[in-house]
Amino acid sequence: MTEAEDKIIGTVFAGCKIICKLGQGGMGTVYKAHQESLDKFVCVKLLSPDLAREQRNIDFFLREARSAAKLDHPNIVHIYNFGQENDAYFIVMSYVEGKSLQDVVAEKGPLPVKEATDIIIGVLDGLAHAHSKSIIHRDIKPSNILISPDGLPRIVDFGLARSINEEKQLTMAGEMIGTAYFMSPEQGLAGQVDSRADLYSAGATYFYILTGRYPFDGKSSIEVIHKHISDPVPNVMLIRPDVPLWSARVIDNLMRKKPTERYQSAAEVIADLQKFSSGEAAIGTPLERTFDMPDVTARMSSGVPPSHVASLERADPQVSDRSNRPAPPPPPGATPAQRPLYRAPGEPQQKPELQLTGLHNSIRIATHLALTLAGTGCFILAGASGKISGSIWSPIDSNPAAAGLLAFAGLALFGFALWKKPYKFTMLYTLFLLAAAAAAYAGGAYIPAPEGADTVSKAFLALKIGLENMFSGTNVIVYSLFLYLAASKAVFKDNRGLKGFAVAAYLGGLGLTYLYFKAGPEVSPDRIWLAAGGGLALLGLAAALTQKSFALFFNPQLIFLVANITMFAMFTNPQIEALTQFKIKANAETVRQINYKNRLAYQQVLLMAQSDVLYDEEGRPVVHKVPPPPEEVKPADTNSLQTQARLDYYKALTVRITGALAGSAGIIFIAFFLSLMANACFLEELLAVYRERDLL
């Protein structure tokens, strides 16, 4: 205890005698005191003398008292009195026996789900009362929540609170207010703040008391704030697998980047937490959904398989007249595997090796589809065979026999599917299968399964998460990729229907790219980029409708790829610019503080030189050699800060996309889509062989 604090012990403020120090906060020191007239213990908070030198700090301190004095709720500390006495500003508030939530987690570690949920419900109940009085706390964190011996949470420290209706803003424009580890993105961007910022901080607090970790950590406050702005919220189930899925969902909804996508009131969060924790949601709201597909239902009811021959005849009326026509001679360069398909004029027609009837075609296509999907499933099981979720190497380290056997089974199924192909080995088909295998393995490895879950349970959990997130916003970028690849495969086909599909898929994928990157902090897209994206979309539309073969320049695949990149740049550039401005302000403040300290040190050197007068042997005063003033530290170059901001943003965006795909089973979606693309290549080759044989 310092000498100044020691002098305060025993003094009286508004009838309260100071007993001992309880803690130190950002605005001042909190003491335990005895209210003599009421004979009860209270807390007295004194504004730091250093801060009391500026009127703005005094206004902050007294605003805490005025804000909290309006509130009367069991989950908020009561304010009894405030003012100035003994040359100090004070606040008298209720005394709570117990510890802060920060200290509780530090001593006990992550709290049980039930205890943590009850605490957050109490905090949200207090926030709901404060918000109903138009008071925003703006600094909700575990150290500002006191836990009484009976487990009742109470919110303290309304030093950053403000009234929504307050006309005079005590915070300067563009100033960042709050604590980095629990700060909402809009606070980090110094934007307009409302009650939903408190909900974000409550979600970060919920994450902390469940895991014992901050949602985002870093080497500096700036790095942490940047992660709040751009990084995806970590999946709490990967850190603590016993946390129920509904808790992870509530945290995700509380900590959405855009306030409009979060819960809109504390009452909504309380209702969900009470419903989920009591088990009502699991009983009354099943997660399974039934989809009715009339065409499939009719076919299953009738038991008649779809006729591939009929579809081919509708596409080419001359097909039915070709059964007795001799096939043309094989073209030059036909492979040995293809030569038996042809016969010379006058040569007796040989019975083909395979009877390519509609039923046989359907069976062959279904068999190939089953082989590729089963192979993809084997790779998912291989990835899920590890003991640690979220680790690519865990299956190899912890269960190499099972992982190797399942991977070998997947390769065998893919190899058998390859052997069934008409043209055997083709580069594009092989690339699709290899990419599907890699994505399936990664998706299985990143399944957020509880610790100790077996391989099959993990696979079913992956399927469940995938179905639940089928229409989730985190998978929008996956569907955009699907549509782009599918359109690129069909765009050069000489068929109006496929042309129309390609055009629709390109435009749909471009629209999904727009929606995905638009989701995040509110930004206004640059009109130049918007115009460029629209122009490229029109140009790509014209190329897709007119081009029938690959073109180097007027290529719809390349044009729409650039259009998607333009959509990306349209929303990311403003965010990079905002991050750059934030770095410039932070750097300028750091430089200002360094220069101020240097000037202060130089002034002290001058004072010492003037006060210490020395004399030589003859009694003449010695003139001190005064050192030159320190050079002013210059702010960092704007271009370098912009480059750093761009790199930080792209790194955070990469983590956001990969984290979202892992948490929502989007990687598994990609794996199955790639296997379907391989089936599209198979079907394309099959139709090409039929045309070459001319036996239809």
**Helix or strand run (H / E) with residue 67:** helix 55-69
Residue listed under structure tokens 């101020």: 596
User: For residue 111, what are its two tokens?
Assistant: 């709290």
Q: Is 50 designated active site?
A: no
Find out whether 424 and 346 touch, Cβ atoms under 8 Å.
no
Q: ∠ at Cα 523 (517, 526), nearest 5°?
A: 90
Sequence-distant (6+) residues with CB within 8 A of 204 are 141, 181, 182, 214, 215, 255
Phi, psi values for residue 181, rounded to 5°: -65, -20
CA 655 to CA 229: how far, in whole Å?
13
Find out whether 365 and 414 touch, Cβ atoms under 8 Å.
no
- Closest by CA position to 182, among listed 130, 89, 125, 255: 255
User: For residue 8, what are its two tokens?
Assistant: 């305060």
Report which residue type is found at 213: R
Q: DSSP H helical segments within 519-635, as ranges?
A: 527-546, 556-611
CA 602 to CA 627: how far, in whole Å?
9
- Closest by CA position to 74, among listed 121, 28, 40, 107: 121
Report which residue type is found at 169: Q
DSSP for residue 148: -
For 2-10, the CB contacts below 8 A with 24+ separation are 4/49, 5/29, 8/46
Helix (H, G, I), strand (E, B) or coil at 522: coil
CA 194 to CA 365: how far, in whole Å?
57
Cβ neighbour number for residue 41 with a 10 Å cutoff? 15
Q: From its phi and psi, is residue 104 left (phi > 0), alpha (psi between -120 and 50) or beta? A: alpha
- Closest by CA position to 113, among listed 234, 200, 209: 209
CA 623 to CA 665: how far, in whole Å?
77
Q: What's 237-267 look like in SS3?
A: HHHCCCCCHHHHHHHHHHCCCCHHHCCCCHH
Residue listed under structure tokens 């097909």: 319
Report which residue type is found at 200: Y
What is the number of residues in the chain?
696
Tell me the pairing of strands 99-100 and 153-155: unpaired
Considering 118, 125, 139, 648, which one is annotated as catalytic?
139
- Closest by CA position to 483, among listed 498, 469, 503, 463: 503
Find out whether 629 and 602 touch, Cβ atoms under 8 Å.
yes
Output the DSSP codes for 86-135: TTEEEEEEE---SEEHHHHHHHH-SPPHHHHHHHHHHHHHHHHHHHHTTE
Cβ neighbour number for residue 482 with a 10 Å cutoff? 21
Cβ neighbour number for residue 377 with a 10 Å cutoff? 23
DSSP for residue 191: -
Helix (H, G, I), strand (E, B) or coil at 93: strand
Find out whether 666 and 478 touch, Cβ atoms under 8 Å.
yes
* Terminal-residue alpha carbon distance, the chain: 97
Residues with a known catalytic role: 139
